[in-house]
């Protein structure tokens, strides 16, 4: 096949450009990325060779770094799986489509985030262009197809041609830029490899002034805990996660009895931008030390997708494909133990290092909420790990359900919550008034998944989770709250006005009008049924572009508010007073605005306000 010139996909060009410019101060990571690709390629070949012996390399596996000062070239050589022509075009000419858009957007938003993003999105290879103005990839697939040579100067595209290469594997040759010749120095290469790649499980040879092996190749998870320094755990985490920051916490165990495996699990400090992508990498599964896969989703429940780490099984068979692995009966058993150890870690943080737990919650709480609905076996443990802001916590702080229950008011039976877009929206809601006045704590549910989670949660230790924007709240048994009799009395006193209001609002989404026990400052508010959509749910569904069938709500009036008291008087004097209609409509629109909903007809409201102002100013003009 003749030499071809192929253009980069548009995204590649853009990513390249951004990678080169935004990562420049961290450009040494190019070596980590290329070494890590080489190690992955060796893992793949070694794994394939388990079932197809002919694919293996009897000479043993290694990564070689070969500086050539005279020609300003740096070669990273592996005897891994290599690439066919198609694989080369597919892997090096395009960027994994799933993440690349998100990657670009994030990178534009925050150039500094680049170093962390680079690993998450698999743009590792392109980092070579930070130090090289030309890159050659010589590769031959272990499957035996012809060797290929890929050459690019990082602008526009690359050339591709068949070539000769004796052994399977890949050579990546970097023609270093003038200002990058530090990467030809033995000491510099040694420093970078030891910093970033010490845990690569294949030997990394430096073929410089003298030949040496740079890394320890020990499996950290197989060493006794007592001998491992925190820094070692941190560096290992960075190596497997491509994170620049260390982990928030980790747990390291050997499981024995029944099944035997080692686990080393990490919780990152920050949630990756693609946390909720299907693609997020899982645990690295090893069998008797040998790396097998990191795609085995069955190892952890989905809601723990933020966990990074290594599992090393003594029992799984080595010579099986990844596909049959996922049906192996040991996997659910391992998953059970892994989940347990992770929850142990979280409980320990929550109890003994609450600041760390708070940091965890801020990043990953939303993932844990999924567990309430999906992890039936552990739901009670997950529920205790939930945290919520509330009317009694300072900005940024949270409370657990256990703490809430522990400080409930005497006579209080339910756990109260309000769902809203954010803390401020919850605080501002008129529904909060009576709770504030009576000092009753209300949880703020500000994540979109919250109400869905609450329906999965059910009661917490016999205490119902009660939305304060729904249903006919009965606060009468709370000592200082309004008592039932009084409300009933007001209910009948205001019956006439309530009927009038209902008649005026019959076109609107109102089905009932009643005296409120939840208001103290506002004249009126809207309340959903226990099962109906409240304003927040409506907002969320609309944002998801779902067609919303609004259920009619109850309009509650505050009998102690002067506006309501005056309306009652006007109505008693003259039931068909012409002012009542427009004023009631104004009250209704006001209630909609107060809960953050859109009003159906803003111009009608503006007109209403104008004529009201005209009337009031005319009145005061007279006096
Ligand atoms: P990532 O490694 O995160 O997938 P890269 O851009 O670094 O992203 O590499 C893209 C793909 O190219 C890899 O997933 C792999 O399939 C292939 N590749 C890169 N380097 C090598 C290599 N040395 N040997 C075999 N395949 C490689």
CATH of the domain at 572: 1.20.120.790
Residue 295 is predicted with a pLDDT of 79
Q: How far apart are CA 147 and CA 2, in angstroms?
A: 13
Atom 10 of ligand 1, residue of closest alpha carbon: 91
Q: Which ligand 1 atom minimizes the distance to the CA of 33?
A: 7
Taking residues 309-313, report their average pLDDT. Answer: 94
pTM value is 0.74
Q: Which ligand 1 atom minimizes the distance to the CA of 169?
A: 24
Beta bridge partners of residue 78, listed in sequence order: 63, 170
Residue to mutate (ligand 1; options 11, 43, 91, 294; most atoms within 8 A of CB): 91
CATH number reported for the structural domain that contains residue 257 in this entry: 3.30.230.80
Does 286 reside within a domain?
A: yes
Is the per-residue pLDDT at 115 higher than 60? no
Dihedral class, residue 486 (left if φ above 0, else alpha if ψ from -120 to 50, else beta): alpha
Q: How far apart are CA 239 and CA 219, in angstroms?
A: 13
343 lines ligand 1 (CB under 6 A): no
Residue 576 structure tokens: 């068909």
Does 231 reside within a domain?
A: yes
What's the order of all strands across the beta sheet hosting 510-515? 510-515, 553-557, 524-527
Chain-centre distance for alpha carbon 6: 37
Is the per-residue pLDDT at 263 higher than 90? yes
Q: Are 599 and 513 in the same domain?
A: yes
Q: How far apart are CA 64 and CA 79, in angstroms?
A: 9
558-580 pLDDT tens trace: 999 999 999 999 999 999 999 99
Spatial contact of 504 and 587, defined as CB atoms under 8 Å apart: no
Q: Three-state SS across 88-117?
A: HHHHHCCCCHHHHHHHHHHHHHCHHHHHHH
Per the structure, the complete domain to which residue 259 belongs is given by 220-355
Q: What percent of the chain has pLDDT over 70?
A: 91
Residue 523 is predicted with a pLDDT of 93
Q: How far apart are CA 179 and CA 102, in angstroms?
A: 32
Higher confidence at residue 468 or residue 478?
468
Burial class (CB in 10 A: 0-12, 13-18, 19+), 532: middle
324-347 pLDDT tens trace: 787 899 999 999 999 999 999 999
Does 69 reside within a domain?
A: yes
Does 429 reside within a domain?
A: no
Q: Are 182 and 249 in the same domain?
A: no
- Domain end, chosen from 177, 193, 213, is at 213
Atom 15 of ligand 1, residue of closest alpha carbon: 91
239-261 pLDDT tens trace: 888 777 899 999 999 999 889 99
Q: Are 148 and 294 in the same domain?
A: no
Q: Are 111 and 230 in the same domain?
A: no
Atom 9 of ligand 1, residue of closest alpha carbon: 125
Residue to mutate (ligand 1; options 78, 125, 126, 141; most atoms within 8 A of CB): 125
Q: How far apart are CA 445 and CA 511, in angstroms?
A: 26
Q: Which region among 25-39, 315-329, 358-372 has the lowest average model confidence (pLDDT)?
A: 315-329
- Domain end, chosen from 184, 213, 242, is at 213
**Other CB atoms within 10 Å distance of the CB of residue 621:** 7
Taking residues 267-282, report their average pLDDT. Answer: 74
Total count of domains within the chain: 3
CATH number reported for the structural domain that contains residue 77 in this entry: 3.30.565.10
Taking residues 598-606, report their average pLDDT. Answer: 86
Q: Are 38 and 176 in the same domain?
A: yes
Question: Torsion angle of alpha carbons 49, 324, 274, 114, nearest 10°?
Answer: -10
Does 468 reside within a domain?
A: no
Q: Are 206 and 225 in the same domain?
A: no
**DSSP 8-state secondary structure symbol assigned to residue 404:** H
Is the per-residue pLDDT at 534 higher than 80? no
Taking residues 395-415, report their average pLDDT. Answer: 94
Q: Are 156 and 251 in the same domain?
A: no
Ligand 1 centre from 271 Cα, in Å? 24
Name the band, by pLDDT with cuts 50, 70 and 90, for residue 291: confident
Burial class (CB in 10 A: 0-12, 13-18, 19+), 406: exposed
Residue 123 is predicted with a pLDDT of 57
Q: Which ligand 1 atom minimizes the distance to the CA of 96?
A: 4
180-214 pLDDT tens trace: 999 999 999 999 998 777 778 899 999 999 999 99
Q: Are 78 and 225 in the same domain?
A: no
**Which residue shows structure tokens 């892997």?**
91
Does 364 reside within a domain?
A: no
- Domain end, chosen from 355, 373, 390, is at 355
Q: Are 493 and 614 in the same domain?
A: yes
Q: Are 173 and 298 in the same domain?
A: no
Q: Are 500 and 616 in the same domain?
A: yes
Q: Are 345 and 206 in the same domain?
A: no
Is the per-residue pLDDT at 98 higher than 50? no
Residue 111 is predicted with a pLDDT of 60
Higher confidence at residue 115 or residue 556?
556
Does 373 reside within a domain?
A: no
35-85 pLDDT tens trace: 989 999 999 999 889 888 889 898 899 999 999 999 999 999 999 999 999
Chain-centre distance for alpha carbon 480: 42
Does 618 reside within a domain?
A: yes
Is the per-residue pLDDT at 217 higher than 90? no
Residue to mutate (ligand 1; options 23, 32, 36, 37; most atoms within 8 A of CB): 37
Residue 15 is predicted with a pLDDT of 73
Share the mean pLDDT of the chain.
87
**Which residue shows structure tokens 């006005």?**
497
Q: How far apart are CA 347 and CA 556, in angstroms?
A: 43
Taking residues 383-393, report their average pLDDT. Answer: 97
234, containing H or E segment: helix 230-241
Taking residues 111-119, report their average pLDDT. Answer: 57
């Amino acid at each position: 096949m003749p030499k071809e010139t192929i253009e980069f996909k548009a995204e590649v060009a853009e990513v390249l450009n951004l990678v080169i410019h935004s990562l420049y101060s961290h450009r040494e990571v190019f070596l980590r990325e290329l070494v890590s690709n080489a190690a992955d390629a060796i893992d793949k070949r070694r794994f394939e060779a388990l079932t197809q012996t002919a694919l293996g390399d009897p000479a043993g596996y290694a990564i070689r770094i070969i500086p050539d000062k005279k020609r300003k070239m740096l070669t990273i050589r592996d005897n891994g799986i290599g690439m066919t022509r198609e694989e080369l075009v597919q892997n090096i000419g395009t960027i994994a489509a799933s993440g690349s858009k998100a990657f670009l957007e994030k990178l534009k938003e925050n150039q500094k985030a680049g170093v962390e993003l680079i690993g998450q999105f698999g743009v590792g290879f392109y980092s070579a262009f930070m130090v090289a103005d030309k890159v050659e990839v010589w590769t031959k697939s272990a499957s035996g197809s012809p060797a290929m040579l890929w050459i690019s100067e990082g602008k526009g595209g690359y050339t591709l041609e068949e070539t000769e290469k004796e052994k399977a594997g890949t050579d990546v040759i970097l023609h270093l830029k003038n200002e990058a010749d530090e990467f030809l120095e033995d000491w510099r290469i040694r420093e970078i490899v030891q910093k970033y790649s010490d845990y690569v499980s294949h030997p990394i040879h430096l073929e410089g002034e003298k030949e040496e092996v740079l890394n320890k190749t020990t499996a950290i998870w197989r060493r006794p805990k007592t001998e491992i320094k925190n820094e070692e755990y941190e560096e290992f985490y960075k190596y497997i996660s491509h994170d620049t920051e260390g982990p928030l916490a980790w747990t390291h165990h050997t499981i024995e009895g029944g099944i035997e495996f080692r686990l080393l699990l990490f919780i990152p400090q920050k949630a990756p931008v693609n946390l909720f992508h299907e693609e997020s990498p899982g645990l690295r599964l090893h069998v008797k030390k040998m790396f097998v896969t990191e795609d085995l989703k069955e190892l952890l429940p989905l809601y723990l997708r933020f966990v990074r780490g290594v599992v090393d099984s003594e029992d799984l068979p080595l010579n099986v494909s990844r596909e049959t692995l996922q049906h192996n009966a040991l996997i659910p058993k391992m998953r059970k133990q892994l989940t347990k150890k992770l929850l142990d870690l979280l409980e320990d943080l929550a109890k003994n290092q609450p600041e760390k737990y708070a940091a965890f919650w801020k990043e990953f709480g939303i993932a844990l909420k999924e567990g309430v609905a999906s992890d039936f076996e552990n739901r009670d443990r997950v529920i205790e790990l939930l945290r919520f802001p509330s009317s009694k916590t300072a900005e940024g702080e949270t409370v657990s359900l256990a703490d809430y229950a522990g400080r409930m008011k005497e006579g209080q039976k339910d756990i109260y919550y309000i769902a809203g877009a954010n803390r401020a929206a919850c605080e501002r809601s008129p529904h909060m008034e009576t709770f504030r006045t009576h000092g009753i704590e209300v949880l703020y549910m500000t994540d979109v998944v919250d109400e869905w989670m609450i329906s999965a949660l059910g009661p917490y230790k016999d205490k119902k989770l009660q939305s304060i924007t729904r249903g006919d709240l009965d606060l009468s048994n709370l000592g200082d709250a309004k008592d039932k009799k009084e409300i009933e009395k007001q209910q009948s006193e205001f019956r006439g006005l309530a009927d009038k209001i209902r008649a005026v609002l019959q076109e609107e989404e109102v089905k009932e009008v009643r005296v409120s026990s939840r208001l103290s400052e506002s004249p009126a508010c809207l309340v959903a049924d226990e099962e109906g959509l409240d304003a927040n749910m409506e907002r969320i569904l609309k944002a998801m572009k779902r067609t919303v069938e609004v259920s009619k709500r109850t309009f509650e009036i505050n009998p102690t508010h002067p506006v309501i008291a005056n309306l009652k008087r006007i109505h008693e004097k003259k039931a068909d007073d012409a002012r009542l209609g427009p004023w009631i409509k104004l009250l209704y629109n006001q209630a909609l605005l107060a809960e953050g909903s859109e009003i159906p007809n803003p111009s009608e409201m503006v007109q209403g306000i104008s004529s009201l102002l005209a009337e009031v100013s005319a009145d005061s003009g007279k006096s």
